Amino acid sequence: MKTDWNLIRDMMSAAIDTCERIEACGYSETDRDASTVLAGQDVSVYEMLVSAWTYPENIRYQIIRSRHDNQNDLPYVPEAARILIAMAQASAELIDANVSATTEADVRRMIDWFRNKAAPKVEEAISNKRVI
């Protein structure tokens, strides 16, 4: 079964877009008690934020159960999953970080490495192996 990279891309984009919008509206910890109505109920900003990190956690477990039901349990964490986890963790550290120009340059070099070295060289090595 092929990975649905567009679904993963949509998931990550939804999270990034939401975080960006929350920051752009000027959110701070003092806004946690602000409330709005959702589905006929008052909900606080903090409740929405908690939901925004627990919803994907719950979906993760649903995906794990679905994999199990389809006899597709993972015997190990796939390399691509490790890449996504590490990049998401590094990305999360940039939120409100005000990093130095050196650190930003290092991040941009890493992005370039991913795009211009990692993927092309892995593709090349696998292609070369299969030709032989």
Q: What does the pLDDT read at residue 15?
A: 97
Q: pLDDT band for position 1 (50/70/90)? A: low
Per-residue pLDDT tens over the stretch 3-32: 999 999 999 999 999 999 999 999 999 999
Q: What does the pLDDT read at residue 88?
A: 97
Residues 114-132: what's their mean pLDDT? 93
Q: What does the pLDDT read at residue 120?
A: 93
Alpha carbon distance 63, 121 (integer Å):
31
Per-residue pLDDT tens over the stretch 92-113: 999 999 999 999 999 999 999 9
| 73 Cβ neighbours under 8 A, 6+ residues apart | 67
Domain spans of the chain?
Answer: 5-75
Torsion of CA 91, 97, 100, 101, to 10 degrees: 50
Would you list the DSSP string of 64-114? HHHHHHTT---SS--HHHHHHHHHHHHHHHTTT----HHHHHHHHHHHHHI
Q: Which pTM value belongs to this model?
A: 0.87
Alpha carbon distance 33, 51 (integer Å):
15
Q: pLDDT band for position 71 (50/70/90)? A: very high
Residue 9 near residue 88, CB atoms below 8 Å: no
Q: What does the pLDDT read at residue 59?
A: 95
Q: What is the mean pLDDT of the chain?
A: 95
CB-neighbour burial class of residue 45 (10 A; exposed 0-12, middle 13-18, buried 19+): middle
Q: pLDDT band for position 49 (50/70/90)? A: very high
